[in-house]
Amino acid sequence: MITRTLLACAFALSTLPAMAETVRMAVTTSFENSGLADVLLPEIQAELGIEVELLVVGTGQALRLGEAGDVDAVLVHSRPAEIAFVEAGHATHWREIMYNDFVLIGPSDDPAGISSAQTAADALARIAEAEALFVSRGDNSGTHQKELALWASAGVDPEDLGSAYNAVGAGMGAALNTASGLNAYILSDRATWLTFGNQADLALLFSGDPEMFNPYSLLPVNPDRHPHVNNAAVMQLEDWLVGPRGEELINAYTVEGQTLFVHSAVPQ
């Protein structure tokens, strides 16, 4: 009796939109926080008739969702992880769509003096030298992996920084909130920083090193592994993003007068 009621409820409530093409895409928090999705999704809906449902998660979880076949495509920014994902057969291929860049944020009086640094590695070395507080994502996300790579090229092991290094294990926004509370240095993507509402005494101190470019790629989940994924719609979506319309919208997107993303896909 109870099982039957449960089943009835389950079916009554699974209100899936009928007929409309839907693509589920796992994206990183930095993409969603940038606000670009709010520009692209209505256009995709209007021009292709595809409704894109975004699952905003960390890079690690996004790849897990793709691996399990719970999403149709994944949009992340962590090249080594993307290549491994394709090699493992979870996605058919990866396609670079655009890039933005990482920036170093810190207290506006800049106690470590990173604003005059020449390279990102130099800036991090100065933070380590000054023993200034630093907040790390610590969640194995694309941003976290980039941060670790930059520490490595600075020749600093973050473990040696002791209590000055705070790995919060949280998303970009939450980590920025922590940095804002501690008045600490942090590596963020430009998009999330510009749209972040709780900047307090923090300021953008260093950017522009090509090392800090951050390419985003689309990974269509392999339909041979997961026959239920909507691969046809994902391919349409990819063509649109790669094509002139995607290029125009992505390049024209600005926040506070700053261009956030540079379209970098090459049409085939």
Partner 1 sequence: MNEILEGLVEAAKLIAAFDPELVEITLRSLQVTITAVVIAAAIGLPLGAWLAVMRFRSRRLVIAILNALMGLPPVVVGLIVYVLLSRSGPFGVLGLLFTPTAMIIAQVIIVTPLIASIAHQAIRDLWSEYHDLLISLNTTKRQRVATLLWDARRALLTACLAGFGRGIGEVGAIMIVGGNIDNATRVLTTAIALETGKGNFALALGLGFVLIALAIAVNLLMHSLSRTERSGTW
Where does this chain bind partner 1 (CB under 8 A)?
A: 2, 5-6, 9-10, 13-16, 24, 29, 33, 53-57, 67-70, 171-174, 176-177, 180, 195-199, 226, 228
Q: State the nearest-atom distance from the C-beta of 45 to partner 1, in Å.
A: 11
Q: Helix, strand, or coil here: 88?
A: coil
Sequence-distant (≥ 6) Cβ neighbours of residue 263 within 8 angstroms: 97, 98, 246, 247, 250, 251
Comparison of 77 and 263: residue with beta carbon closer to partner 1 = 77
> How is residue 131 annotated by DSSP?
T
Output the smallest distance, CB 128 to partner 1, in A.
Answer: 27
Give the helix/strand (H/E) hosting 259: strand 258-259
Shortest distance in whole angstroms from residue 189 CB to partner 1:
13
CA distance 25 to 221: 10
Tell me the two tokens of residue 46: 């209007």
Minimum CB distance to partner 1, residue 175 (Å): 9
Nearest-approach distance from CB 54 to partner 1, in angstroms = 6
Q: How far apart are CA 118 and CA 160, in angstroms?
A: 23
Q: d(Cα 21, Cα 18) in Å, to the nearest integer?
A: 9
Rounded to whole angstroms, how far apart are CA atoms 40 and 98? Answer: 13
Give the three-class secondary structure for 71.
coil
CA end-to-end span of the chain, whole Å? Answer: 58
Q: Which of these, 248, 254, 240, lies nearest to 23 by C-alpha position?
A: 240
Whichever of 100 and 180 has its CB closer to partner 1, that residue is 180
Select 136 or 180, whichever has its Cβ closest to partner 1: 180
Q: Which is nearer to partner 1, 97 or 229 (CB)?
A: 229
Q: Which residue's CB is nearer to partner 1, number 16 or number 266?
A: 16
CB atoms within 10 A of CB 41: 16
User: Of the two residues 54 and 148, which places its CB atom closer to partner 1 in the complex?
Assistant: 54
- Nearest distance in Å: CB 201, partner 1: 14
- Rounded to the nearest whole angstrom, what is the least distance from the CB of residue 9 to partner 1 in the complex? 6
Backbone angles phi, psi at 228, to 5 degrees: -80, -10
Give 190 or 263: the residue with its C-beta nearer to partner 1.
Answer: 190
